Amino acid sequence: MARNDNFILFLLENNCTSRVDTYNMVYKTSGIVLKRKNFGEADRVLTILTERFGKISAIAKGSRKIKAKLLGHLEPFTQVNFQFHEGRNFYIVTSADIVHNFENIHNDYQKTTRAFYLGELCDKFLESDEKNIEVYRLLSSALEYLEDNNVDLMLRFFELKIIEASGFKPALRECVHCRKILTAGSNFWDQSEGGIICSDCQKKFQHGKKISDGVIKLLRVIEEKDIENATKIKQDNKIEAETEEILDLYIKNILERELKSKRMMKQ
């Protein structure tokens, strides 16, 4: 169901929630808080990636009050069992029980910035109210990994997997233009087409960024493995840096923006 955020805030600001309460249904689902913003004197508007309903916006009424039962349960990148009432235009959080608060992430600045990056990727790649259990499980496993580890390759794994889950899977084994099987040697990355192009097509179309065989191999391995095995891959810093650059270019092309959290990680 489509929701208009401005209309939601108008209803709350003018105490009009009674107009939709009669349409309430109760839903339960696990979810991960992606972000939140204060509203009014005591409320919060949350963006939550849920297991059952995808990315949703919800109101946690009174959650900023000192004695609020929801206080401390709605931190960003906290995994929670939620109960919602659904009105005609929005969800209202009625209960929230923490499943995993990822304490190590919250207490480590570098891990915190990485978690914000994962959350922003989910927020920007996903449309509201579209179920995507694959991305929910991806984020959950990435946060669990980040809680106990801090390996850069986890970010590359997450980037490639969310790109794939969102329908932008890059061509890594055949030329995105002529469809010939790629061979080692002179290949190029074409973010506008979403994949690798051979040297013949690069000469023909005069675009594409040179991509090394090591990066192609790493992307293919990440594509095939789960997070635990993908993050065990040993690569030199040059290959990892080039892989980050390639995926960053592709993400910027898809989203048509640079993510704020990406800039924050670089600081």
pLDDT at site 66: 46
β-pairing, 54-60 with 25-39?
unpaired
Q: How many Å apart are CA 114 and CA 152, to the nearest integer?
A: 9
- For 101-154, give the DSSP string: --HHHHT-HHHHHHHHHHHHHHHHHSPBT---HHHHHHHHHHHHHHHH---HHH
**Mean pLDDT, the chain cut into blocks of 10 residues (267 residues total):** 48 45 72 86 85 90 58 82 79 88 94 96 94 96 94 94 96 95 94 94 92 96 92 89 95 94 85
> For residue 96, what are its two tokens?
């929230």
CB 68 within 8 A of CB 41: no
Domains (range + CATH), the chain: 1-150 (2.40.50.140), 167-267 (no CATH)
Q: Are strands 43-50 and 25-39 parallel, antiparallel or unpaired?
A: antiparallel
Can you give the pLDDT at residue 70? Answer: 60
Q: Look at residue 65 in the predicted model and tell me its pLDDT.
A: 59
pLDDT at 27: 87
Q: At what angle do helices 237-255 and 152-165 cross, to 10 degrees?
A: 30
CA distance 208 to 16: 54
Structure tokens at 76: 């960003």
Q: Within 10 Å of residue 260's Cβ, how many Cβ atoms?
A: 10
